[in-house]
Amino acid sequence: MYDVIIIGAGPAGCRTAELLAKSKKKVLVIEEHTKIGEPVQCTGLISGKLLEIHPDLPKNIILNKIKTARFFAPSGTNFSLSVKKPALVVDRAKLDKWIYSKAKQAGAEFKLGMQFKGFQKKSNNLIIKTNNGNFETHILIGADGPLSRVRKLAKIKADYTQQIFSQKTIVFGGAKRGRLLQGHRPGEGKFGDSADLCFGGEYFNWFVPISKTKARFGGPSKEMKFKGESGGVCRYGLLKTAQKGNIYLVGDAALQVKPFSCGGVVYGQIAARCLAKAIIEDRDYDELWKAKLAWPIRKGLLLCQFYTFPNWLKSLLFEIIVRTCSEKLLENLDMDFY
C-alpha cells in the first residue's frame, strides 16, 4: 500500500515525488518509458527562475545562457529584449534525470517501462492498474503530461487550446542565412547571440542557440515538418480544478503551462511544490497553485489573442512597441509572469 502513486516521471512528477518522499510519504512513480527524459520533447529554454527553485542545479545541465530575445513581426520589424537575469538553455534529458535522481535519493520508488491503464475505487483508496500488475494507494497524482490519461479517466474537465510542434537541431553554418522563418532577419545583429522568435504564422517559430554553432529551430508542425526529429503536443488553458477527491493533477496534465510560449517546466516545478504542500499539510491544492499561477495563465491567455490577429495588425503592433517602449521597460518583463 502506497501513500501516493504518481503517474509520469517528467519534471513535475519527479519533483512532487521528491518533496513528498522527503516528508516520509511512501511514494511510487510509474513511468511508461524505460529511460528518464527520453524522448526529448522540449527546446530547453527556461527562465533563470529554475536556478531559484533549484539552486543546486548542476552546471553541466546548462548548455547556454541567453540574455537577449529578438521578436520579429511578419513584416520583419523587430525589437530586442535584454533581460537582467539570463534565460537558460538546458539539456532536458539531463535535467529530467537529475530531478529523478533527487526523488530517488529522497526515497521515492520508481517503476520504469510500466504503463498506467486505469484505476478503480476500493473504499477510501484506489487500485491503480498497469500493464504489469495492480497497486493500491491513498492518493493518485496524474503528472502524465498534456495527454493525461489520469485527467481523462478522473473526468476532470479541461478546456484547452492545443499546439503541435515540430523541432530540429541545426548547425548555423549548415543553415542558409537569410530568412529561416517568416519575417526573420538573422543578418541584423550577430546570428546566434539571441533567441529569435518570429510571429508570422499561427503561433510562433523559434530559433534558440544551444551553443556557438548549434540551435534548436521549430514551430507549429503545420508550418514546419522535420522527419524523425523531436516535437510534441502542448495544451494550455486554466483548469477550474486540478483535483477530484484523492486524485490530483500537476504539470502539463493540469495545463500548468505558459499559454503564450507553451513553456511548462517552471510552472510545473512551482505547482509540484504547491501539491506536495497541500498533501503534507492537508491544504486545498487548487487554492495554492492558483494563488501562484492563475493570474499569469489568465494574462497569457489574453496575450494569446495576438496570435489571432492578421499579419498586418501584428506588424503594426510591433511598430508601436518599437516606437513607444523604452528598453528599460522591456528589460523588466518577466519571462514567466509577463
Ligand X SMILES: Cc1cc2nc3c(=O)[nH]c(=O)nc-3n(C[C@H](O)[C@H](O)[C@H](O)COP(=O)(O)OP(=O)(O)OC[C@H]3O[C@@H](n4cnc5c(N)ncnc54)[C@H](O)[C@@H]3O)c2cc1C
Closest to ligand X by CB, 69 vs 77, is: 69
Determine, following the binding rule CB under 6 A, whether residue 45 of this chain makes contact with ligand X.
Answer: yes
**Shortest distance in whole angstroms from residue 253 CB to ligand X:** 6
The single residue listed with the C-alpha cell 518522499 is 21
Determine, following the binding rule CB under 6 A, whether residue 221 of this chain makes contact with ligand X.
Answer: no
Query: How many angstroms separate the CA atoms of 234 and 177, rounded?
Result: 29
**Shortest distance in whole angstroms from residue 117 CB to ligand X:** 7
| Coil vs helix vs strand at 320 | helix
Closest to ligand X by CB, 77 vs 232, is: 232
Determine, following the binding rule CB under 6 A, whether residue 48 of this chain makes contact with ligand X.
Answer: no
Please list every residue from 156 through 195 that binds ligand X, using CB under 6 A: 165, 167
Please list every residue from 128 through 157 that binds ligand X, using CB under 6 A: 143-145, 149
Please list every residue from 99 through 118 that binds ligand X, using CB under 6 A: 115-116
Determine, following the binding rule CB under 6 A, whether residue 232 of this chain makes contact with ligand X.
Answer: yes
Residues 6+ apart with CB under 8 A from 160: 235, 236, 237, 255
Determine, following the binding rule CB under 6 A, whether residue 300 of this chain makes contact with ligand X.
Answer: no
Report yes or no: 264 and 251 within 8 Å, Cβ to Cβ.
Answer: yes
Query: How many angstroms separate the CA atoms of 318 and 321, rounded?
Result: 5
Determine, following the binding rule CB under 6 A, whether residue 297 of this chain makes contact with ligand X.
Answer: no
- Amino acid at residue number 281: E
**Shortest distance in whole angstroms from residue 37 CB to ligand X:** 8
**Shortest distance in whole angstroms from residue 97 CB to ligand X:** 12
55, burial (CB in 10 Å: exposed 0-12, middle 13-18, buried 19+) = exposed
Closest to ligand X by CB, 73 vs 90, is: 90
**Shortest distance in whole angstroms from residue 177 CB to ligand X:** 24
Closest to ligand X by CB, 260 vs 315, is: 260
Closest to ligand X by CB, 167 vs 243, is: 167
Among 257, 279, 297, 335, binds ligand X (CB under 6 A): 257
The half-sphere exposure of 314 on its side-chain side, counting CA atoms within 13 A, is 26
Tell me, rounded to whole angstroms, the distance of Cα 315 from its chain centroid.
Answer: 28
Determine, following the binding rule CB under 6 A, whether residue 242 of this chain makes contact with ligand X.
Answer: no
Among 62, 87, 265, 278, binds ligand X (CB under 6 A): 265
Query: How many angstroms separate the CA atoms of 109 and 103, rounded?
Result: 8
Supply 323's cell numbers.
516606437
DSSP string spanning 160-205? -EEEEEEEEEEEGGGS-SS-SSTT--TTSS-TTSSEEEE-SSSS-E
Write out the residues near ligand X by the rule CB under 6 A: 7-13, 30-33, 41-46, 115-116, 143-145, 149, 165, 167, 218, 231-232, 234, 251-252, 257, 262-265, 268
